Structure formats: C-alpha cells, structure tokens
C-alpha cells in the first residue's frame, strides 16, 4: 500500500512539474529547463503511467501525444452562438464603423476600442468545468460545431487544468505557426503528397483528423481572444477578460492595443499591414472591439455579427499571372459562369489557380484573351478575381474567347433573359443543374446532410441512384455498399444523417428547394408566416406581397414555382417519405415587425459589389419592399455605390441624394 501511495505521489509530482515547464515554454515563451531534461522527466512519467494506468491524471502531459482513433466527430450545440464579424476595408470604412458605434451609444458616451491581430486559423470554443478541460469544439455554422476535444488536447498551449477551479468557456483561434507549416509541407513533398495551400488550411485539416496522433505531430498553437461564458465572476471590459484568462493559464496575443480615438485605431491597422510579414504566424486583418461590456450589450447584434466589433481586412494583394483557359460551369439555376484558369501564383498566403470572371460582358469589357497576362487580386483576402488585362505583354498567339451557343452539359440552346447579363440554360432536365441543385439541397444552410458532399452527390448521380431530392431518401444500403470508397460504417452514418433531416424545420426544406430569389432568410420569413407548406402553396401573389420582407419579384417566383405540376408531385413524394412540412422554430410577434428602411423607396445600384452579385442585391431590396431602377433622377431616394462607381454616383452627388457604400448596405440588410 505504501509503495502504491509513493507511485501516486510521484505521478502527481511529475505531472505538476511538467505542466509548469510546459506553461513557461508554450505560453510564456520563457523555458525553465532544456528540452532534454523535459523529455527525460516525461519518459519517467509515461513509464509510471503505463505501470499504473489508474493513477494517470486527466491533465497529464502524456495526453498531448494523442489518444485513440475516433469513428466520427459528434455535433456540439454552442451555448452562445459564435457569430462572424462584419468587415471593413479602408480608413473611411473604419471611421464609418466608429460613427455607427457612436450613434448606437448615443450622446454622452464615447467608446474605447481594443484592437487585436486577426489570427488566420480555426475558431474554437473551449469548455472547462471546475477548472478542467472537458470539451473543445469548432465554430461550425456558429450555432453547431464539431467536438474535436481529443485533437485540441494535443495543443501544448491549451491548459488541461486551469489555475482556478472555475466554470468557463473561452473562444480562441487555433493556428499553425509558419515554421511548422513549412516543415509539414517539406515532409509532404518528400512523400510526394500534395502540399497544403496555406497555414490556415493546414491547421483546420489537422484539427479535423479522426486520429489525434496526427494532430499531435503538427505543432499547432492557439491564442485565446474572448470569454464565451463565465460562472461565479464578473468582468466589465474586454481587456479585463483578457487579463483574467491569462491569469487562469491561457495564452493570449500580446500585440493588442487600447485605443481611445478612431485615429489610433486607423494607425494601428495601417501599421500592421506593413509589419505582418515579420510575424511567426499568419494574420489576415485586425479585429476592432468596443472595450466596455456594458456598451457591447447596448449596441447588440445583427443576425450574423455584433455591432460592437468589426474586422479590418488588409488591402487585397495584387499579382500578375497568365490566363491559361476559361472554364464554364452551369449552376443550379442554369446560369453559365465563366472561371479563369490561371498559371498558379501565390496571393495573400494561398496558391491561386482559378479566379472569378463573373460573366461574358466582363470578358468583353476588359478585352480578355486566352494567353493574356492578367492582374488578379483577392478581395478581402477571400475571393480571387481578374482585375484587368496587360495588353502590352501580348506576343500575337493569344486567342479570343467565345461563349458557346449550347449548354455544355445537355446541348440545349443557351438564352439571355431580358434585363440579365448572364447566359442561361433553361432545360429543367439539364444534368448539371440537377447535380448543382442536389448539392445545394444537402448544403449546411439547407437540409444539412452530413457526409453528402459534392463528390458523393456526383457519384450517386453518375450511378443513376438519384435524379431528384426525393431520391436521397430512397437510397438503399446494399446499393451504396457497391460504390467506391463506401464502407459499411460510412454508409450507415450517411443513411442515419439522411434520416435525421426528415425532422428539419420547414425553412430548411424551403431554402433547399432552390426557389429563385428565396435565400435562407426569406425562407425563414415564409416558413414563420405560413407555418405549413400546404398554406404556402395556396398563397396568392397578393398574400406574399403583404409580408414585410417579400417583394414583387420574389412573390412572382414563389407563385410560379408552386404552380408547376412537377413541384406538386415532388412535394407529395417528400410527404410520403416522411419529410416534415411544418415550421418548428420560434414565432416573431407580428406587432414587432416594422417596415424596413427600404420600404417604398426608389433605389439605384451602381458600381461593382464585392460580396454580392447585382441581381442578388436587387432581389434583397425588392424583398424588403424597395424598388430598384436603372437611372438616377430627382425621384431617386437612395444610391448604393460599389467599386468603380461612375456617372451615376456623380449625378446622385449633384442632386444631393443619399449615398451608401456596400458595407452600409450589407449592415442594413442584416437589420
């Protein structure tokens, strides 16, 4: 008995010492002992734990090497949503954000901001009970993430036990340092494996490995940037929260700054745009937050993001490369979209091989030829697009691109609908549209069927197992097992995931059906209002237009959709298969729904929008009761100006018409 107690005391002693050494090394960057001494003590501890596994503590440093292989990641419902941030792209938009904050706070209140580096990694939520790490999850869709606790335990800078026995949830950004990324890609090249495009993808891929031992070898790190929930203690500001989590043993980023004026915010943002290359990790911008938590509470949230915070995105990096080809894709609505195929080139931390060309008119406007040298940029460090052509590099071998007259997928004639710039395939049996529609139906914001990605959908379609969305619910186990890369476990998981979505609330199904102009928000509005699919099917155009957020164009699209006999047939089939046709979410009190800011206004769109196609913007305005026209006049109430706005902007300024930029427009949409 005495010997057993001695072993327990020795395991406790080694665990405490090694955790203290790890904290000083990984969190404080102040090593206490050499690596050799640490490894020696760890071997001693591991040997004792192997002899007495019942004495192994839940905060043992030996856990960092990774545990058993998982079968799958379980879903985790976040107690508080992990919302995304709105973006600003230049000094004026930073000042506009400050103006909106001050307006929201009212007279007599001035904000103080905390500016932090926006780490380019994977957002995670860490949950502790009585100071012990019990669960870690990805952000997911903001409401539901994946349980990656086993992988997160392999990150040395995540404490397994805190310095206080507190119940707390913290949010942080897990990332791969540049040095680890370079080493990982060197190993991949030696093994003739494709390298990761950037550290962010490498970090995300590492944390989504079912084998935690792989994550353990990737040398990941983390910075904690906020408290999600905290019991038994109150903090009053963001900087106080950062100080408290540091005290608990978490690693925070020390480069944040306390800014009392918007001028200081601008200076901080612009300064890091020049210095970011010197950091040992990647950043893609600056997060700007109101410091006082009472002020945060007063400012509140939009549907997707807090009004008290925003992310300044660094100016898009522009590079020159060669256009190799133009690829055409047919979307679920039949629109034929051209995509530039490029000579691979690094842009803002990623290797870019493809870029958006939007439509045929843009190709003609910039006189783009295959073989041209082109300038590309990543707008907001996200979407690569072709900016312009460099004709001075032409050598005579370049070729003019011609859009086809027939659909590449079904050989039907392509048409251009009046008032639209896009070419469209109008054949409802077009296989490309069917596949894209199926991919949309199973996507996260629609039915959200786990395991049904693009590759699997294409495989099922090519093997003639599915032709429409109803076929997904008729899939047989024995049919799936015959397919390549379909083992028993993956087939069983897939069928369970499909079955689970039968109980989805009506708005999920509505959005998944892909009705023109009906986005996820409009689907929710329709589902809330009509409550059942049957009532919605029976609605008239007038019924629909009487709903606050439904405009004429969307009302027309909904009525036209449900008038089709094949739609009625599909819905009846889905009902027979047990798909829910009722709204299950919370009802919003009708008396609380006010007219939108767009109601009854005549609005003009001009210039190029970064985050939304012109047609989509128009549909959003009309859905909220506004009217979009093509020219500016004395009757125009509002001009929304994107990039390269020209004569319409000048005329609106001359007529003293209210003008919004894209950021303001997107903010108002969220309201």
Residue 74 lies in a domain: no
H-state helical runs in 132-280: 149-152, 178-190, 199-207, 212-216, 238-248, 262-275
Same domain as 190, residue 101: yes
Same domain as 132, residue 247: yes
Same domain as 93, residue 195: yes
Residue 78 lies in a domain: no
635 versus 69: the higher-pLDDT residue is 635
595 pLDDT above the threshold of 70:
no
DSSP single-letter state for residue 33: S
Same domain as 174, residue 42: no
pTM: 0.57
Same domain as 199, residue 307: yes
Instruction: Summarize pLDDT for 347-377 with one digit per residue, the tens.
Output: 766 788 998 887 788 888 889 999 999 998 8
Q: What is the pLDDT of residue 643?
A: 77
Average confidence (pLDDT) over 322-338: 89
pLDDT band at 469 (very low <50, low <70, confident <90, very high): very high
Among 400, 397, 426, 392, residue whose Cα is nearest residue 411 = 426
Same domain as 206, residue 289: yes
Task: Decide which of 262, 284, 313 is a domain's last residue.
Answer: 313
Q: What is the pLDDT of residue 384?
A: 84
Average confidence (pLDDT) over 576-580: 96
Residue 551 lies in a domain: yes
Same domain as 296, residue 322: no
Among 647, 617, 612, 613, residue whose Cα is nearest residue 632 = 647
Average confidence (pLDDT) over 307-317: 88
Residue 631 lies in a domain: yes
Residue 422 lies in a domain: no
- Range with lowest mean pLDDT among 222-231, 252-261, 323-332: 323-332
347 versus 156: the higher-pLDDT residue is 156
As to burial, measured by CB atoms within 10 angstroms (0-12 exposed, 13-18 middle, 19+ buried), residue 524 is buried
**Of the ranges 379-393, 500-514, 626-640, the best mean pLDDT one:** 500-514
Instruction: Summarize pLDDT for 176-195 with one digit per residue, the tens.
Output: 999 999 899 888 877 777 77
Please state, rounded to an integer, the average pLDDT across all residues of the chain.
Answer: 87
Average confidence (pLDDT) over 377-405: 84
Domain count, the chain: 6
CATH for 574: 1.10.150.20
Average confidence (pLDDT) over 234-252: 96
pLDDT over 70 percentage in the chain = 94
133 pLDDT above the threshold of 90:
yes
The tokens describing 273, both together, are: 């745009």
Residues classed as catalytic: 118
Same domain as 115, residue 242: yes
The whole-angstrom separation of Cα 628 and Cα 604 is 6
Q: What is the pLDDT of residue 140?
A: 84
Average confidence (pLDDT) over 281-308: 92
Q: What is the pLDDT of residue 223?
A: 98
590 pLDDT above the threshold of 50:
no
Average confidence (pLDDT) over 209-219: 89
307 pLDDT above the threshold of 50:
yes
Average confidence (pLDDT) over 30-47: 81
574 versus 49: the higher-pLDDT residue is 574
Q: Are 394 and 322 in contact (CB under 8 A)?
A: no
Q: What is the pLDDT of residue 70?
A: 65
Same domain as 284, residue 158: yes
DSSP single-letter state for residue 314: P
The whole-angstrom separation of Cα 439 and Cα 456 is 9
**Of the ranges 179-193, 237-251, 325-339, the best mean pLDDT one:** 237-251
H-state helical runs in 233-355: 238-248, 262-275, 293-299
The whole-angstrom separation of Cα 223 and Cα 121 is 10
Q: What is the pLDDT of residue 671?
A: 63
pLDDT band at 594 (very low <50, low <70, confident <90, very high): very low
148 versus 451: the higher-pLDDT residue is 148
CA separation (Å) from 287 to 176, 208, 246? 19, 26, 19
Residue 597 lies in a domain: no
183 versus 445: the higher-pLDDT residue is 183
Same domain as 137, residue 20: no
Q: Are 504 and 585 in contact (CB under 8 A)?
A: no
Q: Are 543 and 553 in contact (CB under 8 A)?
A: no
Task: Decide which of 284, 313, 342 is a domain's last residue.
Answer: 313
Beta-carbon contacts of 665 under 8 Å, excluding residues fewer than 6 positions away, are 617, 640
- Range with lowest mean pLDDT among 273-277, 314-318, 366-370, 392-396: 314-318
Among 282, 33, 30, residue whose Cα is nearest residue 178 = 282
Residue 613 lies in a domain: yes
Domain residue limits at 360: 318-416
Residue 659 lies in a domain: yes
Instruction: Summarize pLDDT for 71-83 with one digit per residue, the tens.
Output: 678 889 898 889 8
Same domain as 291, residue 170: yes
CA separation (Å) from 412 to 126, 162, 190, 429, 458? 53, 64, 47, 10, 21
Beta-carbon contacts of 387 under 8 Å, excluding residues fewer than 6 positions away, are 318, 374, 375, 376, 377
389 - beta bridge partners?
374
pLDDT band at 665 (very low <50, low <70, confident <90, very high): confident
Give the CA angle between residues 425, 426, 432 to the nearest 5°: 55
pLDDT band at 67 (very low <50, low <70, confident <90, very high): low
Burial 341-364 (b: 16+ CB within 10 A, else e): ebeebebbbbebeebbbbbbebbe
CA separation (Å) from 456 to 202, 503, 620? 23, 22, 32
Same domain as 567, residue 665: no
The whole-angstrom separation of Cα 632 and Cα 638 is 9
CATH for 657: 3.40.50.10190
Task: Decide which of 503, 538, 556 is a domain's last residue.
Answer: 503
As to burial, measured by CB atoms within 10 angstroms (0-12 exposed, 13-18 middle, 19+ buried), residue 646 is exposed
């Amino acid at each position: 008995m005495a010997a057993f107690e001695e072993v327990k005391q020795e395991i406790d002693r080694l665990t405490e010492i090694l955790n203290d050494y790890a904290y000083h090394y990984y969190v404080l960057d102040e090593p206490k002992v050499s690596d050799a001494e640490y490894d020696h003590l760890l071997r001693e501890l591991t040997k004792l734990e192997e002899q007495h596994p019942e004495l192994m503590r839940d905060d043992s440093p030996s856990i960092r090497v990774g545990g058993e292989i998982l079968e799958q990641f379980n879903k985790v419902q976040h107690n508080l949503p992990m919302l995304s941030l709105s973006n600003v792209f230049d000094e004026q938009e930073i000042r506009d954000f400050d103006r909106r904050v001050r307006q929201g706070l009212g007279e007599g209140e001035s904000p103080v901001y905390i500016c932090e580096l926006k780490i380019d990694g994977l957002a995670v939520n860490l949950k502790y009970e009585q100071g012990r790490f019990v669960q870690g999850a990805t952000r997911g869709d903001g409401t539901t993430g994946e349980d990656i606790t086993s992988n997160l335990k392999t990150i040395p800078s995540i404490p397994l036990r805190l310095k206080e026995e507190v119940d707390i949830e913290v949010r942080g950004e897990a990332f791969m340092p540049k040095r680890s990324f370079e080493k990982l890609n060197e190993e991949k090249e030696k093994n003739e494996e494709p390298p990761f495009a950037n550290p962010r993808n490498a970090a995300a891929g590492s944390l989504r490995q079912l084998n935690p031992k792989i994550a353990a070898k990737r040398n990941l790190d983390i910075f904690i940037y906020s408290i999600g929930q905290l019991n038994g203690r109150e903090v009053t500001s963001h900087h106080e929260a950062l100080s408290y989590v540091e005290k608990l043993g978490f690693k925070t980023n020390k480069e944040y700054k306390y800014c009392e004026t918007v001028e200081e915010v601008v200076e901080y943002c612009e300064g890091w745009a020049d210095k970011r290359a010197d950091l040992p990790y990647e950043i893609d911008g600056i997060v700007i937050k109101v410091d006082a938590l009472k002020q945060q509470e007063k400012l509140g949230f939009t549907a997707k993001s807090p009004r008290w915070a925003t992310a300044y995105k660094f100016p898009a990096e522009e590079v020159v490369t060669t256009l190799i080809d133009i690829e055409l894709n047919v979307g679920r609505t039949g629109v034929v979209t051209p995509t530039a195929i490029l000579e691979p080139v690094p842009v803002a931390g990623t290797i870019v091989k493809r870029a958006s060309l939007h439509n045929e008119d843009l190709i003609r406007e910039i006189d783009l030829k295959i073989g041209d040298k082109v300038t590309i940029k990543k707008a907001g460090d996200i979407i690569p697009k072709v900016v312009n052509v460099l004709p001075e590099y032409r050598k005579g071998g370049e070729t003019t691109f011609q859009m086809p007259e027939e659909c590449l997928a079904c050989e039907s004639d392509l048409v251009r609908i009046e008032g639209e710039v896009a070419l469209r395939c109008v054949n409802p049996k077009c296989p490309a549209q069917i596949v894209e529609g199926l991919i949309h139906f199973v996507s996260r914001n629609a039915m959200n069927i786990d395991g049904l990605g693009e590759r699997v959908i294409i495989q099922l379609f090519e093997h003639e197992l599915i032709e429409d969305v109803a076929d997904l619910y008729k899939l047989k186990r024995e049919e799936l097992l015959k397919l390549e890369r379909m083992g028993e476990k993956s087939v069983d998981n897939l069928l369970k995931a499909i079955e689970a979505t039968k109980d989805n609330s009506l708005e999920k199904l509505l959005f998944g059906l892909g009705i023109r102009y009906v986005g996820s928000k409009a689907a929710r509005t329709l589902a809330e209002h009509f409550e059942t699919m049957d009532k919605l099917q029976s609605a008239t155009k007038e019924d629909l237009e009487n709903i606050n957020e439904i405009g004429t164009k969307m009302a027309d699209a909904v009525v036209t959709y449900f008038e089709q006999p094949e739609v009625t047939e599909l819905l009846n089939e889905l009902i027979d298969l047990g798909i829910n046709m009722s709204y299950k979410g919370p009802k919003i009190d009708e008396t609380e729904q006010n007219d939108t800011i767009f109601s009854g206004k005549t609005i003009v769109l001009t210039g190029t929008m970064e985050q939304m196609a012109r047609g989509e913007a128009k549909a959003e305005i009309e859905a909220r009761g506004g009217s979009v026209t093509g020219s500016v006049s004395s009757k125009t109430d509002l001009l929304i100006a994107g990039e390269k706005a020209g004569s319409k902007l000048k005329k609106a300024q001359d007529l003293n018409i209210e003008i919004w930029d894209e950021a303001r427009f997107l903010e108002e949409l969220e309201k």
